Structures are given as C-alpha cells and as structure tokens.
Chains A and B, each alone.
Chain A
C-alpha cells in the first residue's frame, strides 16, 4: 500500500515537473537537468566510449529534451524517454562523424575486482580494441551491443530505449558480437576480454 502511494506520488511529481518545464520554468528545467544529466552521460559514454564530444552531446540532448517536452505523453518513464533522445543524438553523431579510434590513455581504469595491475592493463587494452571494432560497425549495432553487452542493460530495456522490437535488438547484439568474435580469432587479448567481460548470456542468441 505504501509502495503504491509512493509510486503515485513519484508519478505525480514527475508529471508536475514535466508540466513546469514545458511551461518554460527555469527552476524546473534546472532540476530536471541535474536529476538526469549523469544518467545521460553514462548512456552516451557507454555508446561512444571515451570521446571528447560527449559533453557537447549531453548539451544537445537536453536542448532537445526541453524542446520536446510538450510532446511527452507519459507512456514511458521520463528517464527512459530522455534516454531515447540521448541515443538519437548519439546515433546522429555516429552517422555524421565516424569516431576515431580510441587512444589507450583515454580509456579509464576498468575498476575490476582484481586489483592486480596486469589485469587492469589487459582490461584497458581489451576495451580499447572493442571500441576500435565498434567504430567500424553500423551505429545501431554498436548502440545495441554497447548498452547490452558492455553496460549490462537488459535486452528489453535496450529495445525500449532504441524504440525497437526485442527481436531486432537481439539480432543487432548478435551481429555485433559475431563481428567482434570474428576479429577476436586473430586477437587473443580481445578474445580473452570478450570471454571474460562480454560473455554471452542465455537468451542473447536471436
């Protein structure tokens, strides 16, 4: 009972926030920005990898969010809706600006549980090679794979974010993984990384 009341309260608060933002109230817009900016950043970072354009893309995302808020119908959560806009921005960026390959020093620590330096180094190099291959993939495959296989989001959530069907999302992830596996045959380090970090989960196959 308490949970239902809390959920309704949250929903009402969100609706109120949307209404005030749509009316152009600056305080509400600032509040929404601060609540969502880290989530948007995480999403974009995951899709694009370490990329100097991420800040600009966050900015572009929020500009679009505030422009489009009056069209938000509340059919999904506000955060999911904003995530969808962020992915659209990322998709446009990937289509118009083929990303350069990621330099090693820009890849952050993988914060693996094993603290040994050798593993960290291998993880950094593995991730760099993954993004190198993702750079050559079609943006939709890249987005689906990075959100599901790297960020660990459920396929259903990825499908919702990408406004795609579950089957299409699965197919995209699978095609991206196949491409990576093909390359990993000639790259033991990448193979190790894929096996250890980006392993298949049951139900990933289309």
Chain B
C-alpha cells in the first residue's frame, strides 16, 4: 500500500518569525544568558545550595522576629551599653522608648524566652513599654531589683545595690531580694518599704463611700490580718489573727485612683515560705490591706479565727469582697480590682511560672465569690494541663462541692471525667 504524502504544514508568517526572534533574543538579554562552561552547572548547584541555606535562615529569622522583639532580644551575645554624662539620652527600641537620665549607665542584653533585659548600672532610666502580651518580656535590672514589664511607663532609679521604681501608668512586677511586688500606676517601690502611692496632680478627692453608713466608722471591720511589717519576712509570717467578714458590700466607686496605696506581697524566694504557706494560707489575702472608705456600714464586725489562719471575706456572688484595714491603719484599694489584677497576673504567669500562678489562684480561691470560683477552676485546669490529674480531680471536686452552680460547673465536671 503506497502511502500518500504527509499533510502540509502551514508556513510561519514573517510577523510570527519576527515575533519569535525578538522573543528569543530579548529572553537571552534579560536572563543575561552566557554560554555555559564546563563547570558552570556545578557552580550553579553550589549557588542553589547557598541560596537555599540563606532562604532557610531568612525564614527562621523572620519567624523569630515575629515571636519577639528581635533587635534587642537577639542581643544575647553582644550586649550594648549606653553611658550618659551631663545630658541624658533617649533611645527607641522595638516596643519601648527609654529616657536615660544624665550620669547613668545602661546596658542591654537578652534573657530567657527572648526577653529584652535592660541593666541599669547606675543612674536612672524611664521606660515606656508597649503591652507585652504577645511580645518577649521586657525586664529592667538594677542591682538586686528586677522589674518585669507588663505594659506601662515607669522609672527605675538605682540606689546602691537596689533601686526605686516609680510607675506612671500600667503595672510592673518588681522582684527584689526574697520578694516580688506588684507596683501599680501612681505607686512607688522603695527597697525595704511598702509600696507607697505617689501624689498625682490629676487625682480627684476621695468620694464618700457608697452605702447607708459612712466609711469612717469602719473601724469595727478592721481585722488584724497579718504581721504588718513591711518586709517580706514579716508579711509571710503566720497571721496570728484573722477575720471573716460575712456581709456583702457594694461595688467599689470609680475613684479608685484616690484610694490609699495598696500593698500586696508574695513571698516567693524565701526558703521557709513553702513550709509556712502549708501551715497558713496568708501570703496573699492576708497581706491585702483594703480601704475603709468602701466598706458597707452594714458589715458586721465579726472577727473569727479561721482554722487555716487565712483572712476570708465571705461575700455574695457578684459582689466584691469587703475591704478591711490592717492593724497599722494602712488602707488598700477595693478588693475587686485587686483580685482582678491578681487573677490576671496569675493567668499571665501560667506559662512562665505555673507554680506561682497556682499559688495565686489558690489564694484567690479561698474566697467565696465569683473570682474564687474562677480561680479554683483555673487552678484545676492548670493542674490538669501540667499533668497532675489527681490534683486536678481534687480541685474539681472541691469546686463542685463549693460552687455546684458555678459558672464553670459543667467544665469542672467534664474536666473531672477526662482526668480520671
């Protein structure tokens, strides 16, 4: 069978040819294609490998950058120091602005979890720090004093081996020898002294307390809650007398800035603290002096000693704990905000320091209000997350016994089931 000739091929038009030619040579120009030499493919492979490694490093770097404050957090190995003489200095770093006072020396380094650590060698520094919720921690160290920023503006002034800390707004946690202190806006921390409130020009005069009775005669509600000494050792000593305030009080007024200074201490590093804590749950609530100006006049002056030696304020659900005054007459803020702040602090510490978080939850759970219920369940959840199923079960059972209709009742039952 003889084959017919193959079907024809349409010729390429001149315009198509010109188009292709232009395309070929412009591509050659664009790519700067030069004739390949013998070793070129090997060099190209090497270049690809180098580019791959560089890309991997870039990806890792970008990831780390996103996780924290890269410039200073990376400064773990190469600390930078700034020394001022007659004039101060202002520097802006990622997420923070620092005013370094004259005659000061500051160095920067990195810490755990990519923390930015500002070490104040001498002088003073004022820091304005963006909230740290998703950033690496920001820490200022001055001698034995260590300030961990939660998002605030504050000043640190070094005095010998310690430092004073003044907080303009926000909240910082100050750790000094054997103690940790929360310092709020308008408060000043001095080593060896209780946190005092600094006078603020914007402060409004204290409003009269809410409720039918004035706050002044609140003396009957005063409870001697613990040793009033300002030092940690004294605070963490077992409280000789405690009070249970059983009547509900109204919510605090809005003029919380006008209240006298609050004083909260957590004895964290004292080696004897654990033993004392087992015998007496007085570390947090026993050292929470509360203002007298918020006390409902109906609050009875009942003062009974609890078996655990803890100060308890039994209040109706949804109502804040009754403020009490310590034996030195020093008054604190409304308990609601104190409890809330402590609760938030514990929540923040869950990852970084779960033991401290559990301790705070434990103290908060000693109450009877909504915060106590939340704190009790939070401690159960945290124990379960840490793998302590037995403790989690016990806490859940405690929760269900104490707060059978609590907001986390279903969650507690579910947690109880899953931790079995």
Residues of chain A touching chain B, judged by Cβ–Cβ distance below 8 Å, are 22-24, 26, 29-30, 33-34, 37-38, 41-42, 45-46, 50, 55, 58-59, 62-63, 66-71, 108-113, 123, 127, 150-152, 195-201
Q: Are A110 and B36 in contact (CB under 8 A)?
A: no
Cα A201 to Cα B12 in complex, Å, equals 30
Query: Which 6 A-B pairs have CB atoms at the shortest separation, nearest pair first?
Result: A111-B8, A110-B7, A199-B1, A70-B35, A59-B23, A62-B24
In the complex with contacts A33-B21, A62-B24, A152-B3, A45-B36 CB distance below 8 A: no
A110 and B8 contact, Cβ closer than 8 Å, known pairs A58-B20, A201-B3: yes
What are the residues of chain B within 8 A of A23 when measuring CB–CB? Answer: 35
Interfacial residues of chain B within 1-56, with CB under 8 A of chain A in the complex:
1-12, 16-17, 19-21, 23-25, 27-28, 33-37
Q: Contact check: which of A29, A62, A67, A113 meets B36 at CB < 8 Å?
A: A67
A-B contact count (CB 8 A): 87
Contacts of B12 in A (CB 8 A): 37-38, 41
Min distance, Cβ B221 to any Cβ of chain A, angstroms: 84
**Contact across chains for B25 and A29 when beta carbons are under 8 A apart:** yes
Report B-chain residues with C-beta under 8 Å of the C-beta of A62: 20, 24
- The answer on a CB contact under 8 Å between B21 and A30 is yes
Contact A24 B9 (CB under 8 A): no
On whether the beta carbons of B7 and A150 are closer than 8 Å, the reply is yes
A55 surroundings in chain B (CB, below 8 A): 16, 19-20
Q: How far is the CA of A112 from the CA of B3 in the complex (A)?
A: 12
Beta-carbon contact of A197 and B1 below 8 Å:
no
Pairs across A and B, CB under 8 Å, 18 listed: A24-B34, A26-B25, A30-B21, A38-B11, A46-B6, A59-B23, A59-B24, A62-B24, A63-B33, A66-B24, A70-B36, A109-B8, A150-B6, A152-B5, A197-B7, A199-B2, A199-B3, A200-B1
Asked if A42 and B9 sit within 8 Å, CB to CB, the answer is yes
Q: How far is the CB of A8 from chain B (nearest CB, A)?
A: 26
Q: Which of B7, B8, B9, B23 contacts A41 (CB 8 A)?
A: B9
A71 → chain B closest CB, angstroms:
7
Q: Is the CB of B28 within 8 A of A152?
A: no
Which of the residues B3, B7, B16 comes within 8 Å of A123, measured between beta carbons? B7
A152 x B24 contact (CB < 8 A): no
Which size class do B's interface residues fall under?
20 to 34
Chain B contact surface mostly: loop
Chain B's closest residue to A200 (CB) is B1
- CB neighbours of A196 from chain B (8 A): 4
State the Cβ distance, A146 to closest chain B Cβ, in Å.
10
Least Cβ–Cβ distance between B337 and chain A, in angstroms? 66
Give the distance to chain B from A101, nearest Cβ to Cβ, in Å. 17
Taking CB atoms, residues of chain B closer than 8 Å to A111 are: 7-8
Question: Which chain A residue shows the least CB distance to B31?
Answer: A63
In the bound assembly, the distance between CA atoms of A58 and B17 in angstroms comes to: 10
Q: For residue A46, which residues in chain B have a CB less than 8 angstroms away from its CB?
A: 6, 9
Residue of B whose beta carbon sits closest to that of A56: B23
Residues of A within 8 A of B37 (CB): 70
Q: How far does the Cβ of B331 sit from chain A's closest Cβ, in whole Å?
A: 79
Q: Return the chain A residue nearest B33 by Cβ.
A: A67
A26 closest partner in B (C-beta): B25
Chain B neighbourhood of A123, CB < 8 A: 7
Q: Contact between A151 and B4 (Cβ–Cβ < 8 Å)?
A: no
Q: Measured between alpha carbons, how far is A64 from B28 in the docked complex, in Å?
A: 10
* Residues on B with beta carbons closer than 8 Å to the beta carbon of A41: 9, 12
Which residues of B have CB within 8 Å of A112? 4-5, 7
B15 smallest CB distance to A (angstroms)? 11
Bound complex: CA A127 to CA B35 (Å) = 41
With A195-B1, A200-B1 known as contacts, the answer to whether A45 contacts B9 (CB < 8 A) is yes
Using CB atoms, name the residue of chain A closest to B2.
Answer: A199
A44 and B119 CA atoms in complex are apart in Å by 73
**Are the C-beta atoms of B9 and A69 separated by less than 8 Å?**
no
Q: Which of A23, A29, A62, A152 has the most CB of B within 10 A?
A: A62
CA distance A42 to B12 in the complex (A): 9
Q: Which residues of B contact A108 (CB under 8 A)?
A: 7-10
A71 to B38, CA, bound (A): 8
- Contact residue among A50, A66, A201 (Cβ-Cβ distance under 8 Å from B33): A66
Starting from the known contacts A23-B35, A46-B6, A66-B35, 4 additional A-B residue pairs (CB-CB under 8 Å) come to A66-B28, A67-B36, A195-B1, A198-B3
CA distance A77 to B43 in the complex (A): 30
Assembled-state Cα–Cα distance A199/B4 (Å): 8
Residue of A with least CB distance to B7 = A110
Select which of B10, B25, B35 is within 8 A of A69 by beta carbon.
B35
Nearest to B40 among chain A residues (CB) is A70
A68 touches B36 (CB 8 A): yes
Given known A-B contacts A33-B24, A37-B12, A24 and B35 have beta carbons under 8 A apart: yes
Within the assembled complex, what's the spacing in Å between the Cα atoms of A58 and B23? 10
Q: Which chain A residue lies CB-closest to B29?
A: A26
